[in-house]
Structure 1
Amino acid sequence: MPGAPELPTVPVGSRRAPHRTVRYHHWLAPDAKRSLIAGAHARGVTPAMAVAALFADTVGGWSAQTRFLLNVPLFQRESVHSDVNRVIGDFTTSVMLEVDVTENMSVADRARDIQHRMYESASHAAYSGLEVLRDLGRQRGEAMLAPVVFTSALDLGELFADGVIQTFGEPVWIISQGPQVLLDAQVTELRGGLLVNWDVRESAFPAGLVDAMFTRFAQAVDRLARGDAGWDAEAAVQLPSEQATVRAAVNATDGPVSGRCLHQGFFEQAAMNPDAPAVVWGLDNEDGAWSYRELGNQALSVAGALQAHGVRHGDTVAVQLPKGRDQVVAVLGILAAGGAYVPIGFDQPDARRAKILQTADAVAALTVESADMGTGITCLSIDAARNYPNPLPEPVFPDITEIAYVIFTSGSTGLPKGVEVRHSAAMNTIDAVNDWFAVGSTDRVLALSALEFDASVYDIFGMFSAGGSLVAVDAEQKAVATTWVELIRRHRVSILNCVPSMLDMILELGGDQLGGSLRAVTLGGDWVGADLARRLARQVPGCRFSGLGGATETAIHHTICEVAGEPPAHWTTVPFGRPLRNVRCRVVAPSGRDCLDWVPGELWVGGVNVAAGYRNDPQRTARQFVEHDGLRWYKTGDLARYWPDGTIEFLGRADHQVQIRGYRVELGEVESALRTVPGCAMPSPPWSAPAPPSSSPRSRVTPTRPVTSPRRSLPCCPTT
């Protein structure tokens, strides 16, 4: 049995007047009432069930769940005594009406369905709704409420008889309210017509939401009274025209496309400004730098070495190197050879690395001197490749629709999945972000992200496209936050692109001494706490702060929310914001319809930035990448909702995948690895609800001996 409708609500502590009830009302004239009644009878339903169907669909349109319970009061005065009709008192009981509006159908069919469900529920009226809720609460271990009520007094005569009006006068104000009731809808007869009232705890809902709901409900009632068209219309709530207009404006993001390959900007800069610094690194006396000319020459040598060892246009080449500037040489060399790069974490378990190489169809790998990738993979050490004596005379620039890189993320089957990203997709994001922040040749970014995390794509190619510099972080520095602060100060880093936890550490350690160079911070890959924006505004005044929503499948980022100064006090996290250039966003209900404002659904992202698919996995690709209205969309699996102003708010993951410090972790992969451990009992399921920023994954196992096996198949494994 489902629970109450999951309507968007305001936290109790933020409600202006939590106990105040407001009445909405709509009246049908007698002729309209007679038309509605005749239409209902012609279709084999009672007028009350016809109105109940409209109410159920209205509530369902604004509910996160399309199966829910409505609280329906019934009049039940049993004939226990011959004078019982002379007794004044409360003879009502209630039943829990289970409603399911998932399937779209006509209003007439919905009314028949609701009527059938009502007959079934009423046949069990001796088991009252209150008892049902109590028993459900005991079963589920939590209090169960039914705060949405539908009451019909049709066929009971006028709400106020003539004698009552003659004695007391015309009613001027009516209200009803009950404990733990948020919305009470009533339908009754008044002045020969039909009156529908909603008594609502208005401050329990976001501003404007009840207005929109009641307007839709009243319009639907009017359509039924006008004749057949109202009965034959779709029962489902459609996106109101005002909301559709806002969505269209927010998604009107068409803009220029550069037409360049991912590495093209680098080589253009190397030709125009060969002596400009491309990569800088080090502290104290260990400072170093490569100019665009020096880095370009190394990349062309790597490209020559790769081609000499059989790498051809369109081949995939793995990169497994310690974090640092050598990784930059490797990816530029692979792209210059006409290939696509496949980053693999330097500490990846052998079993996972082998699966990635197999799925990626990698023909070669750039590694350290002593690496062994197994049979079928040509391994080249980066030092030998950069010194290859026959460099390519010029880089290869493939068609922008070809694959630039394949990044492997966690997969629900227990196996990693490779996301194929085109040059055009990655460059759309890079150009959009660079234009947003007016990135230029004087900018420097601190390369904190691992190469196998797609934020690194922006770090490298975002800077090179604009002629800026990359401040390299090596393997020893990557986990030392104090060193990051020193690098920011020493190399006058102007742009910080990282996950929220990294900024948290930098602000904590840097205090007010981060220097005057930092001008923009972009955060993504995890929940972005609003407190970070507040702290940055205080510690680095004037520095721009943005949270970006994204996925590897949408070429790094798809939305942006820039926070000017300190964010609103009620924000706990920064929303996704609005789509980037050439990006579209939908929030989709299980039925496939667009969710209304404030209603959560799955975020779909469409446009130039959508990935080509999953490497060698056509079934998963067909499942996650779909066509709709002439556009290709990626179904992200993220829960989100639109605000009335067009802002998109991230609500968490819809599946069992979580993000931890920027890395996507599929709990199914963790569980699958645990299942393979000899002597390990069935792991308990990790959480499935959206995780707050401070959460960490937990799964309980019962080992019969020390557990070491997961380390062979998981990309990271805790030591305790």
Structure 2
Amino acid sequence: MSDEAVVQARTAEGDVGSRARHAPAAVREAVAGVLEIAPEELEDDRDLFELGLDSLALMSLVGTWRREGSTVTFQDLTSRPTLRDWTTLLARAANDDTATTVPPGPPAPVAGADPDTDSFPLATMQHAYWIGRQDGQPLGGVAAHFYVELDGHGVDPARLDTALRSLVLRHGMLRAVFDEDGRQRFGAAGAPLTVHDLRELAPVESESELERLRERNTHTRPDIGAGDVFRAALCLLPDGRTRLQIDLDMMAGDALSLRVLLSDLRRFYECPDEPPRELGLDYRRYLAEHDSRRRTERERDAAWWRERLPDLPRAPRLPTTVDPLTPVTADDGTLTHSRRLHHWLGPADKAALLGAARRHAVTPAAALATAFAEVIAAWSDSRRFLLNLPLFDREMFAPEVAGLVGDFSSSVLLDADLSAPLPFSRQARGLQERLQAGISHGAYGGVEVLRDLARAEGAPVLAPVVYTSAIGLGEIFEQDVQKSFGHPSWIISQGPQVYLDAQVTELDGGLLLNWDVRDGVFEAGVPDAAFDAYRRLVTRLVTDPDAWDRPVDGLLDPDVLPRRAVAALPAAPVADRALHTRFFR
């Protein structure tokens, strides 16, 4: 058979497979799977968002169907969110695609790779992190990183060291080296485990040393030029207690990468004789493939965002004690440290919140984002402002992608327009629609949009108030990981160009609500009062069904929510490098 005949035969097989995967029964099964209900329970004309579909689940479905050859988009599906409409759209797309579907060829060359050094370009968010961590940047001088502590019992240092060595060999990004030109390469594996034996110290001395280590690790800025992007230490304590300290630079991995590496670490620790399986895909190759696949979408989405630039609001003006555009260095401890405010909703409260959101055709992420935005508006001088929402944009074009460690993050800027005095549920639906529109044009991310705004104004534009939702992504600290290494007792993230980073993550069957607040930026008492208002508003949404149908002004205590006018940000031009601002985490 000729090569052309082989291609035609494989194409025909692919077309048949695509049609089968997009048949009504297959679509029903896929949607029921992400909703965690039986396929027969799905009504053809029911709004899928009312049934609990969220943006993350939808992004996963779109990625799966596009990987199978469909051209259906996120925007197509959000505009018609019923099973009947989706089945029709997918069938039509499968028929339209048959003339152009071809089998995958050999891997494309890595765009921008240097064959002499094996270095390759940074992803967009990596570049923003790289710029922002340098001294002299607005809210800069800070590494973007995750730091966690797991308090357990009986963790064996030798087994852990062996497991860590296997982990670092498996994942090239855990030994990534970043050069002065803003490029990256995979470096040599080092010895990642440090052991702190505190068993013979008096209790007061032990606690003092643990606190010193926590403070140092929380606010560290490692030398990524030397490949210092992943650290692990084990504290040995009396009575067999242990504390595992993990630090991951966001240049090397995002939040879901933290889950991947913890899961792999547990497997290597529990099965020490199992050799590390080499992945068939690495982050370097992923970036090249991802950029190639997104080129057309990126051009389309760039045009969409640029049409909207003149009407986009700016960041909320909050009661701050310093100008957020003031250049910062790592030596300025008053502006480079963060602290965490947190509140946990138990499984019953989580279920109540998800059920209430579903009844009002709102995703839980949109409901909590609206609660956050309403509280921010109460302290801002305007009820319309720009929020920065990170996206977990891991494109699953191959099975190996799920097991990679790397920065797959993107972002979308959200026009949080709360100016109309609407009931909470209607306010949330409006915010949800704007968010979905932004996500559907997410191939051109928030970093690029901010750069466009900065070029248009001739001055830096920041979006330093961040809301991150990981609802629907599962628990980062899986139960098996906690059984091996302990319960997370300290979790914090920080990064440049951000002074308030709110997150919602799944933990122990419930939801963990966090605010990471940059020290020295806000007026005294403001973050604590605002977080307390946020916590109380979320509690009302959980416990009071009528709260969803009332304007938020009636749900918050006006005595503790003064709307504050703050000075406008200066518009003086700055060096071009400062325009490359980092705003997520």
Q: Indicate the structure (1 or 2) with the bigger Cα radius of gyration.
A: 1
Relative contact order, CA 8 A, sep 6+: which one is greater? Answer: 2
In the superposition, the TM-score normalised over structure 2's length comes to 0.41
Q: Which has the higher strand share?
A: 1
In the superposition, the TM-score normalised over structure 1's length comes to 0.34
